[in-house]
Amino acid sequence: MASEYETVVGIEVHAELLTESKVFCGCPTRFGAAPNTQTCPICLGMPGVLPVLNKRALEFTIRTALALNCQVAEFSKFDRKNYFYPDLPKNYQISQYDLPIGRNGYLDIDVDGEQKRIRIRRVHLEEETGKSLHAGEDIIAATHSLVDFNRAGIPLMEIVSEADMRSADEARAYLNKLRSVLLAIGVSDCKMEEGSMRCEANVSVRPVGASEFGTQTELKNIASFRAVHRAIEFEAARQIALLKSGEHVTRETRHWDDERGETVRMRGKEEAHDYRYFPEPDLVPLEIGREWVESIRESMPELPDARRGRYVRELGIPEYDAGLIADSPAMTRFFEEAVGLGGDAREIAKWMLGELSAALNASGGDFESCPVRPSHLVETLSLIKTGRISGKIAKSVLEDIFGTGRSPEEIVRERGLVQISDEAQLVAVVDKVIAANPGPVSDFRGGKEKALTFLVGQVMKETRGRANPEATNRILRERLAEGTGR
């Protein structure tokens, strides 16, 4: 099947901007406040009110356009998008139509070790709508509906890609990369669970080698990156099955039902809106000064790709690991702080991506809230380096910090974890183990190298993990060789 058809995907992302106040009024934008407590006549669309643009929202949009390698418009304007909806206070949305802030950009993604460039068609700024709450099972069965306008007027950025993705994997990689860029430049918190980042996918399929696109469907209500992947896979398979059975794909908007794992028709193109766009007369057109754009460009933080390159080049971190850290602002902050404290960068990366990530995954936390601080990790690593504890003990120390927040030094001292490197002490234990395990000993002597691992394990068991592994290994080999005369 995959050899006959290819999937074509374009993605539209909406991201709420992290401004202190709304885009056209001074109301706060805090998430989770009691309904309708963050509103004023302007964001409620009361008769007579006028919008005044929040310059910070414009700056954030320009910053995004620059980060996505877009051309930033010198002249732009806002337009009205007219449609009736109970949670849209004015029954039009102030948006941008023909002159978006950014256009013709790109974002490079990695899929299976290969780099691919996804073109960005446009980046524009608009206002967020309110939120409807239906009292009942669903919108149809609801006895009544309530509207919360706290969200209305929060600055919202729309980022539209070209239909350059060819699989669900690429779509997910694109979203991950886009998210890491938006997080790095600090314009959005990109929390899909709070709705501050949302995405829609336009999916079509075509015979491999065809130059024309097939009929696309638009997938809405996708609530996670995992759901994006599933939705695209489902939809592509659905479309291919249709084509194979001689039917055709209808241009329509489909809803992703995550529980049932399928897409469901919402509306067809014939029911599509006529938004009756026209220039917003209540806002003056935007003249975006080049000097301002350049000063924004200069103030841009290091983007994930550049950061990854630097980690690989300057710190010797493996490419893949460097990418994982660079794409996450929390991991980047943790890593940079640890390296800054004088730790070995490669060791730090290894432990972050190994032990710490595993512990965080299990506890559901992230590096921002990790009880093990960069200083803890660096201290632990230096205990290993100076031979005071083994790597194995270090794991247990980190586990302890994770639960208690105590310092590594304290834990090692109190729990008596200091490594045994003393030759005489180790020889005594080794001899005891050799005497107690004649089977494995003769196996080893018979050439079974593996048996050594078992014997090392026994020494560790005897010392409760405190035996210096290198020294143990060496002494074991010495004593065993003595016995055979090898």
- 3-state SS, residue 146: strand
If one asks whether residue 284 binds another protein (CB under 8 A), the answer comes out as yes
If one asks whether residue 52 binds another protein (CB under 8 A), the answer comes out as yes
- Using the contact rule CB under 8 A, the part of the chain among 41-49, 196-204, 220-228, 360-368 near another protein is 41-49
Q: How far is the CB of 148 from another protein (least distance, A)?
A: 12
Q: How far is the CB of 52 from another protein (least distance, A)?
A: 5
If one asks whether residue 456 binds another protein (CB under 8 A), the answer comes out as no
Q: How far is the CB of 285 from another protein (least distance, A)?
A: 11
Q: 54 or 239: whose CB is closer to another protein? A: 54
Q: What region does 246 belong to: left with phi over 0, alpha with psi -120 to 50, or beta?
A: left
Residues 290, 64, 298, 287, Cα dihedral to 10°: 20
State which of residues 46, 133, 135, 436 lies at the interface with another protein (CB under 8 A).
Answer: 46
At 80, give phi and psi (nearest 5°).
Answer: -100, 135
H-helix or E-strand spanning residue 373: none
If one asks whether residue 2 binds another protein (CB under 8 A), the answer comes out as no
- 3-state SS, residue 299: coil
Q: 144 or 260: whose CB is closer to another protein? A: 144
If one asks whether residue 90 binds another protein (CB under 8 A), the answer comes out as yes
Q: 41 or 316: whose CB is closer to another protein? A: 41
- Using the contact rule CB under 8 A, the part of the chain among 11-19, 184-192, 277-285, 313-321 near another protein is 277-285
Q: Please work out the total of residues on this chain that contact another protein, with binding judged by CB under 8 A.
A: 29
Give the Cα separation of 87 and 248 in Å (integer): 35
Structure tokens at 160: 């539209």
If one asks whether residue 92 binds another protein (CB under 8 A), the answer comes out as yes
- Ordered alpha helix ranges (H), 245-356: 290-298, 304-315, 319-326, 329-340, 345-351
Q: 46 or 241: whose CB is closer to another protein? A: 46
Residues 350, 351, 354, 357, Cα dihedral to 10°: -120
Q: 48 or 246: whose CB is closer to another protein? A: 48
Neighbours of 426 (CB within 10 A): 21
Q: How far is the CB of 89 from another protein (least distance, A)?
A: 7
In 48-101, beta strands by DSSP E: 71-72, 75-76, 79-82, 92-95
If one asks whether residue 75 binds another protein (CB under 8 A), the answer comes out as no
Give the Cα separation of 312 and 202 in Å (integer): 35
Q: 86 or 403: whose CB is closer to another protein? A: 86
Q: Provide the binding-site residues for another protein, judged by CB under 8 A.
A: 41, 44-53, 80, 82, 84, 86, 89-92, 145, 147, 274, 276-278, 281-284
